[in-house]
Amino acid sequence: MDKASALEYINQMFPTEASLSGVEPLMQKIQSEIRRVDASILAAVRQQSNSGTKAKEELAAATNAVQELMHKIHEIKTKAEQSETMVQEICRDIKKLDCAKRHITTTITALHRLTMLVSAVEQLQVMASKRQYKEAAAQLEAVNQLCSHFEAYRDVPKITELREKFKNIKKILKSHVFSDFSSLGTGKETEDPMLLQQLSDACFVVDALEPSVREELVKNFCSKELTSYRQIFEGAELAKLDKTERRYAWIKRRLRSNEDTWKIFPPSWHVDYLLCIQFCKITRAQLVDILNNMKEKPDVATLLLAFQRTIEFEEELAEKFSGGTGTARNKESASDDEEEGGEHNKIVSDIRKKYEKKLAAPNHEAEQDKDKQKDLSVPGAGFNFHGIISSCFEPYMTVYIELEEKSLVDQLEKLVQEERWETEEGSQTNILSSSMQVFLVIRKSLKRCSALTKNQTLFNLFQVFQRILKAYAAKLYARLPKGGTGIVAAATGTDGQIRTSDRDERMICYIVNTAEYCHQTSGELAENVAKMINPQFADKVDMSEVQDEFSAVITKALMTLVHGLETKFDAEMVAMTRVPWATLESVGDQSEYVNGISSILSSSIPVLGSLLSPTYFQYFLDKLAASLGPRFYLNIYKCKHISETGAQQMLLDTQAVKTILLDIPALGKQSTGAASYSKFVSREMSKAEALLKVILSPVDSVANTYRALLPEGTPLEFQRILDLKGLKKADQQAILEDFNKHAPAPAPAIKHPAVAPTVAPPVATASIQMAPSVATPAVSITPSMASLTGALANREDVLARAAALGRGAATTGFKRFLALTEAAKDRKDGPFRKLFNA
């Protein structure tokens, strides 16, 4: 405790003078505690002194024990070394005797085997000289095993001598066996029945010799068997393409006639298998020479017959030597032919009937021999016979593809010429029959070709299918109605207009459905070809370009429908401009041109809705609304003068046209996408309604109403509205100046020359354009801009007034308008009532 803490402690114990009376007892207590602590310290020091002495004694005892342990370990090690020396001296003689015994045993065994080897070699020599093949085969196995024990003694002269003697004996056996086999097939086997047995025994000798001996023997045998084949079919008489079938008949007869004779060969040799491979190599080389040396293009029927017979022969070989795995192609072809209602063999006969012409063809170089891809020296290697011969025909199949394409083109032309462009009565598909016939013809052609090959030729045929389908798409495209052209069309003002009858509209719908069917079916055709064709061509099989062609036909056909209906509306649009809007005395029911529009749509839409799919019908409606709405809006500007009553009647007609357009989905009995279509129609027709409300507005507020309802309108359109209201040029001057003064963006001011006012001609449709929006830079506020700000602030009031004007609330003809309204109260529907319910 430091000094400050001690003082605090004393002050805490004796806070007052009265408490000092306890100092003496406290001092006695502290003295007693000090004496107790001193006694504890003294006892601890004495105990520590005694413990140190005892520890030194225990350490000395432990050191002595360790020294005694080290001494004893040293003694044990010394005695172990002495024991080891004693054991080595005792066993030295025994080890020598053991090594001697082992060497004597090895020597005896080697001498015994050497005796056996010498005896076996001598016996084998005798057997070889007497052609005792069966015994020699077993002896060869024994000698080979004995020789394997003397591999470590190759440098011993006696062993070298025996090995050379054994090698010579094997050469003698080989020469005897080859000599005896040379007589096979010469007729001696029939004269000497023992010859076949002798040759069968010789096969055991060959198996006992090196594998190369067996390979050489089989190769020589196959070459000898096929020598006559080479001589026969290299001659001028049989070295022809139409004699290909006789080649395969020759090898089949050879295999059948020699089946019993060739049983002398062990099954593991696969002699007939290797013979067929060698036959296929020779046949392929000869066929390539025949095809290369032809001066003219090969006859298609002859080429395909040879191709077909070659494939059938390969199938037989694959089935014979592949354990039945080669039958999959046969099963596939058979199933295809069952679908066609005929047998596999009818393919060639059908082709021969179709193709009987001879065409010139370029010479093609022969393909490289495919036998390099597999080691044919290994019997039973599972060689794939598919294409071993038939692949040589691939470069020469262009004549087949050309004539197949010519046949498809001719059939396409015939189908298009015979097409009535109507569907059969009761048909549920609403597609042209020619499209189904085209794909039927294509499928037949595909099956014919896939039965022959699934390589380059099939891919070339697929490209022909692409061209045929593109040509069919072009035929559909060309069938669509075209616009008027020439001097007469230009003189009558119908240049470029498309006129369609009811039959044309149905035909266009059939074309749309047909193009959709072709788009889908061509994709399925590509998938089928990709599954059956060789995998290296599968990635190239693509029908996207063809599908794009049919998509273009669909788009063009739907736009043709829209243009055709637009042309039908021409007379009604002209009738609208000829109505005396300036002299109408009262507002009545909808005008005749509206009834005409309704009649046109009522006659066309139900048919189109029943024939078109919902997707394409919706597309057609969108395009129709996008065309008719703006056209109706622009047609209002073509009217010369519109009075207040005329504007009210035209507003009623606009609402009626809008109702007619909104009812089109129900008229076509298709409700898909009706909500989005209704919004689109309402947006387009609202522009015409806004224009008529501007015309109905009073002269003093027409500028504000125009800016509020048609904010994107141009000064030129505003001037035309003033013309429609019947204002004179002098009266228009003040309104135009005020309008230009409050224009939201810089625009050229409209000024009139100081001449007598005249009646302006109707504004051409092409001259009515939307003014581009111009970004207004930040400038100081001018009085004109202040007035513009005030006009914008009153926008809501202007809109309310314009709506009231549309109902005729601020016009002198309002009483007549109310009378018509009262008369229509008892009617539950009708365009006039719908106008006020909207």
Segment 9-15 shows an average pLDDT of: 82
The HSE-up count of residue 709 (CA atoms within 13 Å, CB side) is 28
Say what the pLDDT of residue 779 is: 31
Q: Is the pLDDT of residue 121 over 70?
A: yes
Distance CA 602, CA 597 (A): 8
Distance CA 797, CA 793 (A): 9
Say what the pLDDT of residue 547 is: 93
3-state secondary structure of 98: helix
- pLDDT bracket for residue 790 (50, 70, 90): very low
Residue with tokens 């005796």: 115
> For the chain, what is the largest distance between any 2 Cα atoms, rounded to a whole number of angstroms?
159
Q: Is the pLDDT of residue 817 over 70?
A: no
Q: Which residues partner with 484 through β-bridges?
A: 495
Q: Rounded to 10 degrees, what is the CA torsion of 110, 112, 115, 120?
A: -100
CA dist 77 → 67, 68, 72, 91 (Å): 16, 15, 9, 21
Q: Is the pLDDT of residue 327 over 80?
A: no
Segment 802-812 shows an average pLDDT of: 38
Distance CA 642, CA 636 (A): 9
Q: Which sequence spans correspond to the domains of the chain?
A: 125-322, 393-575, 579-696
If one counts every other C-beta atom within 10 angstroms of the C-beta of residue 309, the result is 18
3-state secondary structure of 805: helix
Segment 437-454 shows an average pLDDT of: 89
Say what the pLDDT of residue 760 is: 30
Cβ neighbourhood burial of 554 (10 Å; 0-12, 13-18, 19+) = buried
Share of the chain above pLDDT 70, in %: 76
Buried/exposed 263-299: b ≥16 CB within 10 Å, e otherwise = ebbeeebbbbbbbbbbbbbbbbebbbebbeebeebbb
Segment 441-457 shows an average pLDDT of: 87
Phi then psi dihedrals of residue 374, to 5 deg = -145, 145
Segment 424-447 shows an average pLDDT of: 83
Q: Is the pLDDT of residue 474 over 90?
A: yes
Distance CA 616, CA 610 (A): 12
pLDDT in tens, 288-322: 888 887 777 777 888 888 888 888 888 888 888 87
Whether residue 438 contacts residue 412, with contact meaning beta carbons closer than 8 Å, is answered with: yes
Three-point CA angle 125, 129, 131, nearest 5°: 110
Say what the pLDDT of residue 426 is: 55
Distance CA 521, CA 547 (A): 9
Distance CA 68, CA 297 (A): 115
Q: Which long-range contacts (CB under 8 A, 24 or more apart) does 569-575 make?
A: 569/597, 569/600, 569/628, 569/631, 570/497, 571/596, 572/596, 572/597, 572/600, 573/631, 573/632, 573/635
Distance CA 310, CA 387 (A): 9
pLDDT in tens, 376-432: 334 444 567 777 787 887 888 888 888 888 999 999 999 988 888 877 665 667 888
Whether residue 393 contacts residue 298, with contact meaning beta carbons closer than 8 Å, is answered with: no
- pLDDT bracket for residue 752 (50, 70, 90): very low
Number of residues that this document lists for the chain: 838
| Ramachandran assignment for 750, one of left (phi > 0), alpha (psi -120 to 50 degrees), beta (any other) | beta
In the predicted model, what is the mean pLDDT of the chain? 75
Both tokens of residue 484?
């008027």
Amino acid at 725: K
Query: Bigger pLDDT: 651 or 368?
Result: 651
Distance CA 603, CA 564 (A): 13
Distance CA 598, CA 430 (A): 26
Angle between helices 157-181 and 133-149 (to 10 degrees): 150
Distance CA 400, CA 403 (A): 5
Query: Bigger pLDDT: 48 or 804?
Result: 48
Amino acid at 379: P
CA dist 168 → 124, 175, 308, 600, 649 (Å): 11, 11, 52, 109, 126
3-state secondary structure of 192: coil
Which of 756, 744, 755 has its CA nearest to residue 706? 744
Q: Is the pLDDT of residue 372 over 50?
A: no
Both tokens of residue 685?
């027709």
Q: Is the pLDDT of residue 326 over 60?
A: no
Say what the pLDDT of residue 764 is: 31
Distance CA 238, CA 286 (A): 11
Segment 199-214 shows an average pLDDT of: 82
Both tokens of residue 661?
């357009």
Say what the pLDDT of residue 638 is: 86
Which of 251, 271, 275 has its CA nearest to residue 262? 271
Q: How far apart are the first and last CA of the chain?
A: 102
Whether residue 655 contacts residue 674, with contact meaning beta carbons closer than 8 Å, is answered with: no
Whether residue 784 contacts residue 778, with contact meaning beta carbons closer than 8 Å, is answered with: no
What value does the CA radius of gyration of the chain take, rounded to a whole number of Å?
A: 57
For 458, residues 6+ apart whose C-beta sits below 8 A from its C-beta are 449, 450, 529, 532, 533, 534, 537
Segment 642-661 shows an average pLDDT of: 88
Segment 48-54 shows an average pLDDT of: 78
Distance CA 369, CA 632 (A): 76
Say what the pLDDT of residue 184 is: 75
Say what the pLDDT of residue 428 is: 66
CA 653 to chain centre: 53
Say what the pLDDT of residue 254 is: 84
- pLDDT bracket for residue 335 (50, 70, 90): very low
pLDDT in tens, 552-582: 999 999 999 888 888 888 888 888 888 888 8
- pLDDT bracket for residue 664 (50, 70, 90): confident
Say what the pLDDT of residue 669 is: 75
Say what the pLDDT of residue 328 is: 44
Which segments of 472-528 are extended strands (E)?
none
Query: Bigger pLDDT: 800 or 271?
Result: 271
Whether residue 423 contacts residue 510, with contact meaning beta carbons closer than 8 Å, is answered with: yes
Domain covering 393-575, topology: Tetracycline Repressor; domain 2 (1.10.357)
Whether residue 642 contacts residue 581, with contact meaning beta carbons closer than 8 Å, is answered with: yes
pLDDT in tens, 230-280: 888 876 666 777 778 888 888 888 888 877 777 788 888 888 888 888 888
Q: Is the pLDDT of residue 189 over 70?
A: no
Whether residue 695 contacts residue 721, with contact meaning beta carbons closer than 8 Å, is answered with: yes
Which of 703, 783, 781, 772 has its CA nearest to residue 743? 703
Handedness of CA 26, 31, 36, 41 (dihedral sign): positive
pLDDT in tens, 670-718: 666 677 788 888 888 888 888 888 888 888 788 888 888 888 878 888 8
Both tokens of residue 144?
């080979």
Say what the pLDDT of residue 813 is: 38
The HSE-up count of residue 258 (CA atoms within 13 Å, CB side) is 21
Distance CA 420, CA 80 (A): 121
Share of the chain above pLDDT 90, in %: 11
Distance CA 490, CA 495 (A): 5
Segment 605-621 shows an average pLDDT of: 86
Decide: pTM greater than 0.75: no
DSSP tag of 396: G
Amino acid at 116: M
Distance CA 487, CA 493 (A): 10
For 470, residues 6+ apart whose C-beta sits below 8 A from its C-beta are 545, 546, 549
Which of 299, 279, 393, 309 has its CA nearest to residue 355? 299
Whether residue 715 contacts residue 707, with contact meaning beta carbons closer than 8 Å, is answered with: no
- pLDDT bracket for residue 469 (50, 70, 90): very high
